[in-house]
């Protein structure tokens, strides 16, 4: 696990950008953090790192937005509205998770049971006004894991 | 001279199942809306799968009511207009599947309608003559868009939100403060008794795109503000506040929401007025659910007073999602030959110029 403290959205966005540059086909990023933590901000950075030049706007209304013009496709999910398990009965995310793009999932704790065991989890905690503590965690990956989340986290340290 | 036409309009882009009959793009014969607001209220927002299922459950009945209210029969309908985007994919699918089946079965023309454009058309249902060019602002839970209307069907997009829609900010702030859903009317009502100058929340200044909007920062500022206040109440370390308030008192909830609303609406009206000035527009058109906001109306009335600018805001029932605007616009699309065949499919991310 890597812990980074950021001072303001620009720094949070920069973390996303560095991360975005290292992601590859099938990467899954689970974002956890309350309202106003900076989940969309870090996603904007990831999109930048994926060389997507469109604006990344809130997907709350549409649940998922797709961005196809970057180095890899980005699927940006927002599960804000799914706050009781029964709402997920008809929801399927598999075709995205096992597709050829990068999935970034806001409020991912709501579908934790649907995620492949190997993914990167990013916890964003509100510390104070402009300060956030960001934890990057490789989940369920052995040291030889194909997604290299551990390797990515290691190189983020340097 | 345009052909006379009785159009059935269908709108299912979000949480309203709406069907209307409109004659010649002007006369509303019926306008039926089956809202899911109460169903979604318990979830603090729209739940797409519930929305789709509810559309299926009620659409037959809503069409029947629209036909009955118009005192006609299905045989009298001459064309079918339907919203094909933008919106929730599953919800849109119900509307266009129904419309296609009806058009095929009855051998009627099928007219695809852009939901954004329909919101602008809503003002034409009540004001057939609008002086152009106009600045149109479309504000709702899913949209924050500003366009220059050069002619009906000719638009120049000027700006849009870079993050959250303005109505989404209202919903999220209301949920954060424990006020319920939908946030717009709740906050608007509560704000009336509050001091809008109590807290100076930030008005987003855009580095690029001077007509673009941003509401994520304002939402976060309200969250930061209340968190700081809680923190201050539970500790004695005298944490300083962004709003620069005396440390001994926390403003009441109505002051917080009034101040939030003032910041949210200032951003809209300032940019609308700048756009009016820059484009020499002679009218302002407002559409979408947030058009019902009392502070938005007041500010626009104040800022346009004595300037010779006409302000058009549809009646509340035509501001929020409805099918009269779809059927009405359908008449004009028919007259300009903008019909679709049965291969029509939904476009959840449909833009202005498509």
One-character DSSP codes across chain A? -EEEEEESHHHHHHHHHHHHHH--TT-EEEEE--TTSSHHHHHHHHHHHTT--S-----TTTSEEEE-SSSS-EEEEE-TT--SGGGGTT---HHHHTSSSEEEEETGGGGGGGS-SSEEEEEEEEEETTEEEEEEEEES--TT-TT-HHHHHHHHH-
Cα distances from B13 to residues B18, B87, B152, B219, in angstroms, run: 9, 5, 22, 26
Q: State the nearest Cα–Cα gap between A30 and chain B, in angstroms.
A: 19
3-class secondary structure, B266: helix
A129 domain residue, yes or no: yes
Are B48 and A81 in contact (CB < 8 Å)? yes
Q: State the nearest Cα–Cα gap between B175 and chain A, in angstroms.
A: 10
Tell me: cis bond preceding B182? Omega within 30 of 0 counts: yes
- The verdict on B225 and B330 lying in the same domain is no
Which has the higher per-residue pLDDT, A69 or B80? B80
Which residues pair with residue A138 across a beta bridge?
A: A120
Q: Which helix (H) or strand (E) holds B34?
A: strand B27-35
Q: Tell whether A126 lies on the interface with B, counting CB pairs under 8 A.
A: yes
Residue numbers in B near A56 (CB within 8 A): 163
Q: Tell whether A41 lies on the interface with B, counting CB pairs under 8 A.
A: yes
Q: Summarize the confidence of residues A126-151 as an average pLDDT.
A: 85
- The verdict on B252 and B183 lying in the same domain is yes
Are B228 and A129 in contact (CB < 8 Å)? yes
Q: A3 burial class (0-12, 13-18, 19+ CB within 10 angstroms)? A: exposed
Residue numbers in B near A63 (CB within 8 A): 48, 88
Q: Tell whether A94 lies on the interface with B, counting CB pairs under 8 A.
A: no
Interface mutation vs chain A, best among B159, B177, B220, most A CBs within 10 Å: B220
Q: State the nearest Cα–Cα gap between B93 and chain A, in angstroms.
A: 14
Statement: the pTM of the whole predicted model exceeds 0.90: no
pLDDT bucket at A143, cuts 50 / 70 / 90 = low
- The verdict on B279 and B326 lying in the same domain is no
Q: State the nearest Cα–Cα gap between A62 and chain B, in angstroms.
A: 6
B173 domain residue, yes or no: yes
- The verdict on B259 and B140 lying in the same domain is yes
Q: Tell me if B260 sits within 8 A of B179, measured CB to CB.
A: no
B169 domain residue, yes or no: yes
The residues, any chain, with a CB within 8 Å of residue B56's CB and separated by 6 or more, are: B94
Torsion from C-alpha of B51, B56, B58, B61, nearest 10 degrees: 150
Instruction: Tell me the residue range of the domain where B153 lies.
Output: 130-313
B197 domain residue, yes or no: yes
Residue closest to B223 by CA, chosen among B207, B238, B242, B248: B242
**Encoding tokens for residue A58?**
């809130």
Within chain B, which residues score under 50 in pLDDT? 1, 236-247
A156 domain residue, yes or no: no
**What is the C-alpha to C-alpha distance for residues B147 and B268, in angstroms, rounded to an integer?**
13
A45 domain residue, yes or no: yes
**Encoding tokens for residue A77?**
């999910």
- DSSP 8-state code for residue B108: -
Are B142 and A129 in contact (CB < 8 Å)? no
The residues, any chain, with a CB within 8 Å of residue B230's CB and separated by 6 or more, are: none
Q: What angle do CA A7, B247, B238 make, to 5 degrees?
A: 55
Task: Using the structure block, give the residue that is written with the tokens 């104040």.
Answer: B302
Q: State the nearest Cα–Cα gap between B20 and chain A, in angstroms.
A: 25
A157 domain residue, yes or no: no
**What is the C-alpha to C-alpha distance for residues B190 and B173, in angstroms, rounded to an integer?**
13
Nearest Cβ partner for A87 among B43, B220, B239: B43
Check residue B36 and give its pLDDT.
65
Q: State the nearest Cα–Cα gap between B310 and chain A, in angstroms.
A: 32
Nearest Cβ partner for B162 among A57, A87, A128: A57
A158 domain residue, yes or no: no
Q: Tell whether A6 lies on the interface with B, counting CB pairs under 8 A.
A: no
A155 domain residue, yes or no: no
- The verdict on B235 and B156 lying in the same domain is yes
**What is the C-alpha to C-alpha distance for residues B111 and B35, in angstroms, rounded to an integer?**
24
Quick one: angle between helices B253-279 and B183-191, nearest 10?
100
3-class secondary structure, B305: coil
Radius of gyration, CA atoms only, chain B? 21
Are A55 and B172 in contact (CB < 8 Å)? no
Q: Tell me if A83 sits within 8 A of A105, measured CB to CB.
A: no
Are A62 and B348 in contact (CB < 8 Å)? yes
- The verdict on B87 and B150 lying in the same domain is no
B232 domain residue, yes or no: yes
Residue numbers in A near B219 (CB within 8 A): 35-36
Tell me: cis bond preceding B133? Omega within 30 of 0 counts: yes
| Gap between the terminal Cα atoms of chain B | 26
Residue numbers in B near A129 (CB within 8 A): 224, 228, 242
**Encoding tokens for residue B25?**
């793009």
Residue closest to B265 by CA, chosen among B226, B291, B304: B291
Q: Tell me if B77 sits within 8 A of B8, measured CB to CB.
A: yes
- Which chain B residues have any C-beta within 8 angstroms of a chain A C-beta? 43-50, 52-53, 86-89, 141-142, 160-165, 168, 172, 175-176, 216-217, 219-220, 223-224, 227-228, 231, 239, 242, 348-349
- The verdict on B275 and B220 lying in the same domain is yes
The total domain count for chain B is 2
**What is the C-alpha to C-alpha distance for residues B348 and B92, in angstroms, rounded to an integer?**
8
B349 domain residue, yes or no: no
B342 domain residue, yes or no: no
**Encoding tokens for residue B22?**
């409109």
Instruction: Tell me the residue range of the domain where A58 lies.
Output: 2-150
B13 domain residue, yes or no: yes
Q: Tell whether A65 lies on the interface with B, counting CB pairs under 8 A.
A: yes
**What is the C-alpha to C-alpha distance for residues B163 and A121, in angstroms, rounded to an integer?**
23
The proportion of chain A whose per-residue pLDDT surpasses 90, expressed as a percent, equals 63
Ranking A54-58, A83-87, B244-248, B332-336 by mean pLDDT, the lowest is B244-248
- The verdict on B329 and B275 lying in the same domain is no
Q: Summarize the confidence of residues A101-107 as an average pLDDT.
A: 95
- The verdict on B229 and B84 lying in the same domain is no
The total domain count for chain A is 1
Residue closest to B170 by CA, chosen among B206, B140, B193: B140
Are A82 and B47 in contact (CB < 8 Å)? yes
Q: Tell whether A98 lies on the interface with B, counting CB pairs under 8 A.
A: no
Q: Tell whether A53 lies on the interface with B, counting CB pairs under 8 A.
A: no
Range B31-36 contact pairs with CB under 8 angstroms and sequence separation of 24 or more: B31/B66, B31/B69, B31/B317, B31/B322, B31/B323, B31/B324, B32/B62, B32/B65, B32/B66, B32/B69, B32/B323, B33/B317, B33/B320, B33/B321, B33/B322, B33/B323, B34/B58, B34/B61, B34/B62
Check residue B228 and give its pLDDT.
80
Q: State the nearest Cα–Cα gap between A131 and chain B, in angstroms.
A: 11
Q: Residue A135: which CATH number?
A: 3.40.50.300
Residue spans of alpha helices (H) in B152-252: 166-176, 183-191, 216-233
């Amino acid at each position: 696990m890597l812990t980074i403290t950021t001072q303001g959205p620009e720094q949070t966005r920069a973390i996303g950008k560095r991360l975005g540059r290292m992601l590859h086909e099938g990467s899954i990023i689970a974002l956890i953090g309350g309202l106003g933590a900076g989940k969309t901000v870090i996603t904007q950075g990831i999109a930048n790192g994926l060389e997507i030049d469109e604006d990344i706007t809130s997907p709350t209304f549409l649940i998922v937005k797709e961005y196809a013009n970057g180095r890899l496709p980005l699927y940006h999910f927002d599960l804000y509205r799914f706050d009781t398990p029964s709402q997920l009965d008809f929801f399927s995310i598999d075709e995205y998770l096992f597709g050829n793009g990068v999935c970034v999932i806001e409020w991912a704790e709501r579908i934790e049971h649907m995620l492949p065991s190997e993914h990167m989890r990013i916890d964003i905690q509100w510390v104070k006004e402009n300060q956030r503590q960001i934890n990057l965690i490789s989940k369920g990956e052995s040291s030889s894991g194909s997604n290299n989340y551990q390797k990515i986290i290691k190189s983020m340290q340097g | 001279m345009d052909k006379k036409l009785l159009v059935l309009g269908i709108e299912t882009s979000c949480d309203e199942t709406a069907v209307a009959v409109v004659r010649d793009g002007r006369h509303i014969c019926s306008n039926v809306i089956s809202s899911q607001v109460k169903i979604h209220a318990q979830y603090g927002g729209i739940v797409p799968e519930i929305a789709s299922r509810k559309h299926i459950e009620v659409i037959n009945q809503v069409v029947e009511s629209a036909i009955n209210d118009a005192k006609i029969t299905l045989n009298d309908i001459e064309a079918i207009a339907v919203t094909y985007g933008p919106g929730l994919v599953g919800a849109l699918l119900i509307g266009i599947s129904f419309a296609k089946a009806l058009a095929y079965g009855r051998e009627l023309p099928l007219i695809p309608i852009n939901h954004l454009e329909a919101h602008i058309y809503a003002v034409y249902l009540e004001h057939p003559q609008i002086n152009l060019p106009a600045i149109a602002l479309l504000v709702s839970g899913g949209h924050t868009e500003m366009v220059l209307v050069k002619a009906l069907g000719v638009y120049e997009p000027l700006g849009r939100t870079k993050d959250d829609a303005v109505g989404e900010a209202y919903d999220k702030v209301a949920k954060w403060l424990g006020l319920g859903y939908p946030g717009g009317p709740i906050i608007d009502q509560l704000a009336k008794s509050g001091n809008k100058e109590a807290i100076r929340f930030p008005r987003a200044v855009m580095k690029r795109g001077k007509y673009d909007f941003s509401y994520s920062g304002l939402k976060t500022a309200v969250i930061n503000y209340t968190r700081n206040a809680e923190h201050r109440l539970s500790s004695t370390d005298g944490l300083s506040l962004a709003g620069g308030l005396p440390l001994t008192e926390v403003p009441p909830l109505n002051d917080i929401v009034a101040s939030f609303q003032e910041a949210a609406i200032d951003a809209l009206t300032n940019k609308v007025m700048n756009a009016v000035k820059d484009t020499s527009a002679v009218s302002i058109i407002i559409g979408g659910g947030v058009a019902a906001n009392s502070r938005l109306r007041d500010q626009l009335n104040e800022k346009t007073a004595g300037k010779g600018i006409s302000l058009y805001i549809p009646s509340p029932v035509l501001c929020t999602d409805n099918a009269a605007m779809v059927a009405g616009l359908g008449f004009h699309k028919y007259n300009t030959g903008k019909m679709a065949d049965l291969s029509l499919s939904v476009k959840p991310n449909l833009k202005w110029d498509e």
